Amino acid sequence: MSANILNGVLHIEIKDYGVGIENVDLAIEPFYTTKLEDERSGMGFTVMKSFMDEVNVSSSVNEGTVVKMQKRILDIA
């Protein structure tokens, strides 16, 4: 994980080297879950998107996932 502030914008990047996400477009849909037997709501990406100005997810199966987020926190004139 890395984070920095550049020109009043908070940049956060989270990487993992896990199994990856087969279909990112589907995974970011509200209520989507692969754990139907568990009490999962499938709202992880939706919650991230509600707090951030920008959320980008890239993933490769068997290689991992990278989530990049941005949030303007200061108005710099």
Digitized pLDDT (tens) for each residue of the chain, 77 residues in all: 999 999 999 999 999 999 999 999 888 888 877 776 666 666 788 888 889 999 999 999 999 999 999 999 987 66
Q: Hey, is 62 helix, strand or coil?
A: coil
Structural domain boundaries, residue 43: 2-72
Q: pTM for this one?
A: 0.81
pLDDT at 31: 81
Length of the chain as a residue count: 77
45 φ/ψ angles, rounded to the nearest 5 degrees: -70, -35
Q: Please count the structural domains in the chain.
A: 1
In-domain check, residue 77: no
Can you give the CATH number for the domain in which 17 is found?
3.30.565.10
User: What pLDDT, on the 0 to 100 scale, is given for residue 42?
Assistant: 65
* pLDDT value, residue 71: 97
Does residue 22 fall inside a structural domain?
A: yes
